[in-house]
Amino acid sequence: MDKQIYLDHSATTYVKEEVLQEMIPYFTEKFGNASSIYSIGRESKKAIEDAREKVARALHCQPKEIFFTASGTEADNWAIKGVAFANRNKGNHIITSAIEHHAVLHTCQYLEKEGFEVTYLPVDEYGMVSLEKLQEAITDKTILISIMFANNEIGTIQPIKEIGRIAKEKGIYFHTDAVQAVGNVPIDVDEYNIDMLSLSAHKFYGPKGVGALYVRKGVKLHNFMQGGAQERGRRAGTENVPGIVGLGKAIELATRDIEGYNSKLRALRDRLIKEVLEKIPYTRLNGHPTQRLPGNANFSFEFIEGESLLLMLDMKGIAASSGSACTSGSLDPSHVLLAIGLPHEIAHGSLRITFGEENTEEDVDYVLEVLPPIVERLREMSPLYEEVKRGVKNV
Amino acid sequence: MYSEKVMDHFMNPRNVGEIENADGVGQVGNPKCGDIMKMYLKIENGTIVDAKFRTFGCGAAIATSSMATEMVKGKTVDEALKITNKAVAEALDGLPPVKMHCSNLAEEAIKAAIQDYYKRHGMDWGEGDVCTGCCDSCHVEEE
Ligand SMILES: Cc1ncc(COP(=O)(O)O)c(C=O)c1O
């Protein structure tokens, strides 16, 4: 196989060379424990604080409001459980959405078992949360609203500013999982009234296994890890110094020119969407037409199943993903695709393509060259398509 | 994740299509669960002389359909009825555990096509319908 095109940047990204170069010394000569007082310890400490400042600059907050974690998942867990258990005396109600990442959904489900009540707001056909429904869901027991900034599957970007305003008016904490948004959408935690925000380095050309949680000063939150005094005692555990350094460098690079990066990705995305919808019949775009991540295209091709599509694309050197049950290891297709109202059989036939920095117009050309015949080939094998062609089934 | 043999049968499926004037046609599965298998059999003097399929489903579903059609060809109806999902999976050098239900579907499709053959020839099938078209009937081994 000669050609290799990576089109799954929402799953993860490679580490940029400049990021890697900054990380390397902290594995080798600068290996000191940041809690030690001698010079290589102090150097590690300084590196962590520099990274913290970079994250703070990217989010427009104070460095002391940033806490490093071992992943985006950990940041989500910490924010939600931390607020829930610390504010139990005020209420036991949490509002989130039906299309959150499992890091949020499963955390909320866990809390339900612990006696909390959770409202999972439905979304419209584009994956948008309704502000009216949010208003209606709020009770005097509501202690937390957790709504993702941008969806990882369909790319829909939520009205975060409006949600933040509602939360502030009602005096309810607002957490947002911004794992997919950082580097793609400009973020200002004050302007958006965000109280807590999760991010993860491997989605913006940083290393895997390191993330951060922004916690607005004054938010009442239980500590997530008990142990040493790291992260001012709030998240114990010897710091992943190279990872944190990598996160810092990566967020600095990712937020340097968001508009430039955005417009490049948007051009690739929009051409792909337009031509796929033109070239391939019985196809729909999932997610919002405009309020979506710049690199995200998510399609459903009727009468075929997503995993077989991915396998055939892989044979042609294209790496992408799907919301099909077969790729999720469960029997049900993606909860996000079901939440936007797709019938099961159409949700099974989804394809997510997420562009990144290294992609080019030639990559789009190549997808447009290989994708239509693959879809056609699978449809020719499908008894559902045969029924449509024979006119037995109406679509 | 998949064996070379599965990938071979997935990328180059044998016997895709349909048989005009087939002696038995069986369809199992449900689009809701993400897989449907339709099998066509040509049967002469109690022996399966040709088999074709159409499948909507994952890589394993397509590969098992392909393998199942290969396996039934040349067999008598009685022999074909004895083909188990395990035998289909083994012929493909195994399937990942989460994909075993796909081989179940192949066994069911063979049975459904032969049941149809019995019905068309006024023969007594005896048992109930092989596939209820409900996910659970084909996905029995999953959590
Ligand atoms: C929206 C969203 N939240 C959370 C996560 C989890 O982040 P991590 O992989 O760092 O645990 C991801 C990534 O898979 C994601 O896309």
Are B34 and A380 within 8 A, CB to CB? Answer: no
Query: What are the tokens at A286?
Result: 């999932």
DSSP string, B52-66: EEEEES-HHHHHHHH
**Which of B31, B59, B60 faces A384 most closely, judged by CB atoms?**
B31
Find out whether A284 and A300 touch, Cβ atoms under 8 Å. Answer: yes
* Residue A211 in contact with ligand 1 by CB distance below 6 A: yes
Q: Which amino acid does the sequence have at A256?
A: R
Check if A148 contacts B (Cβ < 8 Å). Answer: no
Q: What are phi and psi of B36, to 5 degrees?
A: -135, 135
Nearest CA in chain A to B58: A308
Closest CA to A379 of A279, A280, A275, A278: A280
ipTM of the complex: 0.89
Find out whether B57 and A333 touch, Cβ atoms under 8 Å. Answer: no
CA pair distance A120, A93, nearest whole angstrom: 11
CA pair distance B22, B3, nearest whole angstrom: 32
The model carries a pTM of 0.93
Q: Of A300, A304, A305, which to mutate for an interface test with B (greatest number of B Cβ within 10 Å)?
A: A305
Are B56 and A312 within 8 A, CB to CB? Answer: no
Ligand 1 centre and the CA of B53: distance in Å? 40
CA pair distance B82, A17, nearest whole angstrom: 58
Annotated catalytic residue B138: no
pLDDT by residue, tens only, chain A of 395 residues: 578 999 999 999 999 999 999 999 999 999 999 999 999 999 999 999 999 999 999 999 999 999 999 999 999 999 999 999 999 999 999 999 999 999 999 999 999 999 999 999 999 999 999 999 999 999 999 999 999 999 999 999 999 999 999 999 999 999 999 999 999 999 999 999 999 999 999 999 999 999 999 999 999 999 989 999 999 999 999 999 999 999 999 999 999 999 999 999 999 999 999 999 999 999 999 999 999 999 999 999 999 999 999 999 999 999 999 977 665 556 678 999 999 999 998 999 999 999 999 999 999 999 999 999 999 999 999 999 988 888 876 65
At A9 the three-state DSSP class reads coil
Check if A67 contacts B (Cβ < 8 Å). Answer: no
Q: Which of A11, A137, A285, A326 is catalytic?
A: A326
CA pair distance A39, B86, nearest whole angstrom: 64
Sheet containing B24-30: which strands, arranged edge to edge? B24-30, B35-44, B47-56
pLDDT class of B140 with cuts at 50, 70, 90:
very low
